[in-house]
């Protein structure tokens, strides 16, 4: 498991307000629960910036992080 995902699971992260994570340091886009309900769930760090880190995660992991 990726260290970043493990930290997010341990510390938690809020749901993203926008699909690109704009304005948030770290957040989770749960594609099954947000937007049109389709696509990939993402853990986004430094969202909305050129150097944003985007990690594709499962819907289950997205639910666990945003608990």
Q: How confident is the model at residue 3 (pLDDT cuts 50, 70, 90)?
A: confident
Domain of 49, in residue numbers: 3-65
- Report the number of distinct structural domains present in the chain: 1
Q: How confident is the model at residue 1 (pLDDT cuts 50, 70, 90)?
A: low
Contact 8, 65 (CB under 8 A): yes
Assess whether pLDDT exceeds 80 at residue 5.
Answer: yes
Provide mean pLDDT across the span 38-50. 92
Give pTM, 2 decimals. 0.87
Assess whether pLDDT exceeds 80 at residue 62.
Answer: yes
Q: In this structure, what DSSP letter does residue 44 have?
A: E
Quote the percentage of the chain above a pLDDT of 90: 72
User: Which of 17, 20, 62 is CA-nearest to residue 45?
Assistant: 20
Number of other CB atoms surrounding residue 35 within 10 Å = 13
């Amino acid at each position: 498991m990726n260290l970043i995902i493990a930290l997010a699971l341990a510390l938690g992260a809020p749901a993203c307000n926008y699909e690109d994570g704009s304005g948030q340091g770290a957040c989770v886009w749960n594609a099954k629960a947000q937007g049109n309900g389709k696509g990939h769930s993402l853990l986004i760090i430094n969202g909305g910036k050129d150097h944003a880190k985007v990690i594709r995660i499962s819907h289950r992991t997205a639910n666990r992080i945003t608990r």
